[in-house]
Amino acid sequence: MAEQETLLERLIPGELEHQIPAAIQKALPGGFRNRLLQLGLGLLITFGFAFMVRRWVERREARRRALAPRPAAPALPPIPEPEVLAAIAGTHEPEPLPDDGIQATRYPLLARPHVALSGPVDQAMYASFRAQLGAAPKQGALVVSLSTPGGDPEVARLMGDEIRLLREYSGCETLFVGKVAVHSAGVAFMAAFPPDKRFLTRGTRLMLHPRILARNVEIAGPLDSCAASLKAMLHEIEESARIEEEDYRALVAGSRLSFEDLQARAPAARDIAAEEARSLGLVLDLI
């Protein structure tokens, strides 16, 4: 007991009675109390030493990894000469897909459009267009089909503008499929797609006609106000003609049909058959 007390006195300076809480002194006998303190100090010293050793080993290992030489990157193979690449490409030329007469094997994506529109071009069609566009897959090409007798040209331009923004901002490939009839405002919507992204089903007909304005003009009141009303109406007509010209130019851009030829066809509301539209380059192909 004297040796234990001497060891404790060495580890804990001062009197032991002052280092141990009063509650523990009352609860534990003197010899057991000393052994408990000795055990606690031993564990504290052991775990503290183990922690210091572990930190020293970790730092040494980290320093060794930092100073170790890194393996050299593998050498890249030399780039073949252009003549070699051309020879390889020529020897592995892919076989053309068979033409089964209905182009099903050539354009499989067009069989199931992601956005299918039919009926008059109006606000109801626009609502359907927005709903189907939101539900369409975010990856891959977007296929839009349309069959319409015509309608509101401004709604058609609105839908076309959203297709253009989608294509320019996300890089999404957009494909158009005209079915049965694509008239007036429907042609304006088709113009939002590049010619090499347009398709028609066999037997589909396009119809172009200029915008029609029907309005009764009543002149009454001071001369200044009458002149202002007439100027406003004239400005509206000129602006509508300018927008119509934009639609026509967008439709023939990249095709073999000139703007002047198209403008000459429009007043007669002439139909363009699918085969003629393909020969003029207004669409890429028929399905």
Asked if residue 20 has pLDDT above 60, the reply is no
CATH class in words for 108-286: alpha beta
- Per-residue pLDDT reduced to its tens digit, 197-240: 999 999 999 988 766 666 777 777 787 777 887 788 887 777 77
Quick one: pLDDT at residue 194? 94
| Residue 97, helix vs strand vs coil | coil
Higher-confidence residue of 139 and 60: namely 139
Q: How many whole angstroms separate alpha carbon 269 and alpha carbon 287? A: 25
Asked if residue 277 has pLDDT above 90, the reply is yes
Quick one: pLDDT at residue 77? 58
Residue 127 gets the label, from left (phi > 0), alpha (psi -120 to 50) or beta, of alpha
Quick one: pLDDT at residue 29? 60
Residue 14 gets the label, from left (phi > 0), alpha (psi -120 to 50) or beta, of left
Is the sign of the CA dihedral 262, 265, 267, 273 positive or negative?
Answer: negative
In Å, how far from its chain's centre is CA 107? Answer: 23
Asked if residue 73 has pLDDT above 60, the reply is no
In Å, how far from its chain's centre is CA 72? Answer: 39
Burial of 155 (0-12, 13-18, 19+ CB in 10 A): buried
- Would you state the structure tokens that stand for residue 83, as one six-digit string? 């003549």
Quick one: pLDDT at residue 234? 80
Quick one: pLDDT at residue 93? 44
Asked if residue 151 has pLDDT above 80, the reply is yes
Q: For residue 142, what are the contacts with CB-CB under 8 A and spacing of at least 6?
A: 114, 115, 133, 136, 166, 172, 173, 174, 175
- State the virtual CA torsion across 4, 5, 11, 13 in degrees, nearest 10: 180
Per the prediction, the chain carries an average pLDDT of 79
- Per-residue pLDDT reduced to its tens digit, 78-122: 655 655 545 544 444 445 444 445 565 688 889 999 999 999 999
Residues of the chain with CATH 3.90.226.10: 108-286
- Per-residue pLDDT reduced to its tens digit, 207-216: 887 666 667 7
Amino acid at 134: G
Greatest mean pLDDT range, 10-24, 58-72, 167-181, 209-223: 167-181
**Structure pTM?**
0.58
